[in-house]
Amino acid sequence: MPGLAFKLGMSIGIRRHCALWLAVLLILLGVVRSASGEPIRVGGTGSALGTMKLLGEAFTRQAASKFELTIMPDLGSSGALRALQAGAIDIALLSRPLSDAHHAAGLVAFEYGRSPFVLVTSKPGIGNLTPAALADLLAGRTLTWSDGQPVRLVLRPKADIDSELLASLSRGIAEALTIASKRQGMVMAATDQEAAEHAERLPGSLAVSTLALILSEHRKLNMLSFDGVAPSVAALADGSYRHFKSLAMVTRGAPSGAALQFIEFVRSPQGRAILEANGHLVSYKR
């Protein structure tokens, strides 16, 4: 049936290379294609998937079922680029810039929004963390919250963009993150959704995420102020909150056909409204 096939709920615990080969297998088997709807296959960074689900639903409603939009879970930015170049997806969702090699290979990207990079916890009543306090929590110099509850860190792989963004917050935090990666008993999340799942499940958790993911997926997590500034689209726009993840859509060459129509919808006033309602500062101009 034409429409939006959204597989995000099945993504937890599946590694990204497996998801890439699953995408290729689906194309080979013809499962993704529909006799009555032109396929648009999308995948990439987990920070974008919840909002893409909402955009896809609105797009397919407007398009009167002419398209079948499938969102592949668990690829991440790097996996999505490999899937795009292999022809397994039509649009890759990235949270990091394209390399010179990708540009040389003919990949084309446009940034469709920026979303605040946020600290989150399952614990209520925590309002703010200073850079020094966050560094102490990561390094294990502080092991509990103020009421004595143990802090449960949820870390990301060293090469992940979330780890890079966390390390960029301050030199002390970067040094503490290196220590945290060597501590025993740390929870390591492979994907953005897995990190959010762990953060929701673990009492006293501390993790990183994006405002877009928290809002679009209705995550039950408390977003913390950092150094006295609460994360919001307005604060990102006025420069008072400076920490964000850039989100882009990438195609092989200039987009055309169904992929172009979806991209144009994302850039339309209706698409922009969905983005802004789900934690994006829309950075392009019409």
DSSP state of 136: H
- 3-state secondary structure (DSSP) of residue 26: helix
Whether 272 is covered by a domain: the verdict is yes
Distance CA 155, CA 149 (A): 19
Q: How far apart are the first and last CA of the chain?
A: 34
The number of folded domains in the chain is: 2
- 223 and 81 in a single domain? The answer is no
Cα 237 to Cα 259: distance, rounded to the nearest angstrom: 29
**Per-residue pLDDT tens for 117-138?**
999 999 999 999 999 999 999 9
Helices (H) and strands (E) in the chain, counts: 12, 11
SS3 33: coil
pLDDT at 6 over 50: no
Q: Domain of residue 47: give its range.
A: 3-114+246-277
Is residue 22 predicted with pLDDT exceeding 80?
A: no
Model confidence pLDDT, tens digit, residues 199-256: 999 999 999 999 999 999 999 999 999 999 999 999 999 999 999 999 999 999 999 9
In this structure, are 230 and 147 located in the same domain?
yes
Token code pair at residue 127: 């309002």
Whether 213 maps to a domain, the answer reads: yes
DSSP H stretches of helix in the chain = 16-29, 46-62, 76-85, 100-104, 131-139, 161-167, 171-180, 192-201, 211-216, 233-238, 257-266, 269-277
Residues 15 and 100 in one domain: yes
> φ, ψ for residue 216 (rounded to 5)?
-70, -30
- Per-residue pLDDT at 129: 98
Report the C-alpha gap between 181 and 72 in whole angstroms.
29
Q: What is the CATH number of the domain that holds 157?
A: 3.40.190.10
Same domain, 109 and 123: no
CA triple 268-269-270, angle to 5 deg:
90
Which residue in 80, 110, 138 sits closest to 266, CA to CA?
110
Q: What is the pLDDT of residue 20?
A: 53
> Which tens digits make up the pLDDT trace of 103-117?
999 999 999 999 999
45 in the same domain as 140: no
Strands 222-226 and 107-121: antiparallel
State residue 67's pLDDT score: 87
One domain for residues 97 and 193: no
Flag whether 282 is in a domain: no
For residues 75 and 139, state if they share a domain: no
Is residue 284 in some structural domain? no
